[in-house]
Amino acid sequence: MKDAPGLTMDDREKAGSEPSSGHPEQSDKGDEMTFALPSAIGDRLKAYYNDVAAEPVPDRFLSLLERLDQAESRNADVQDKDGE
């Protein structure tokens, strides 16, 4: 049955028609899979992210950050002297 003006989705379902997308309605099991899969993927990604975030920062990165802070301090000192 083609979409007829004035019919609601409930009317089409009662008449046994397909949804307006042209695809037959999915079973409850298909709906569960549709929602379960992204949820499972999201849960695994969160767990992986939490594991990575809990790891200590490598010493070489800490050293680089310290050098960056020192360079920024020197630049700020130079700008303060130039601004006087």
Q: How far, in whole angstroms, is CA 83 from its chain's centroid?
A: 46
pLDDT tens digit string along 63-83? Answer: 999 999 999 999 988 887 776
Residue 6 lies in a domain: no
Residue 73 lies in a domain: yes
Residue 43 lies in a domain: yes
Supply 35's token pair: 């929602």
Q: Can you tell me the distance from the alpha carbon of 52 to that of 42, in angstroms, rounded to the nearest whole number?
A: 15
Residue 1 lies in a domain: no
Residue 65 lies in a domain: yes
Closest by Cα among 74, 29, 27 to 82 = 74
pLDDT tens digit string along 28-58? Answer: 666 777 778 899 999 999 999 999 999 999 9
Residue 22 lies in a domain: no
Residues 6+ apart with CB under 8 A from 26: 34
Q: Give this prediction's pTM.
A: 0.39
Q: Are residues 3 and 21 in contact, defined by beta-carbon separation less than 8 angstroms?
A: no
Q: How many domains does the chain contain in total? A: 1
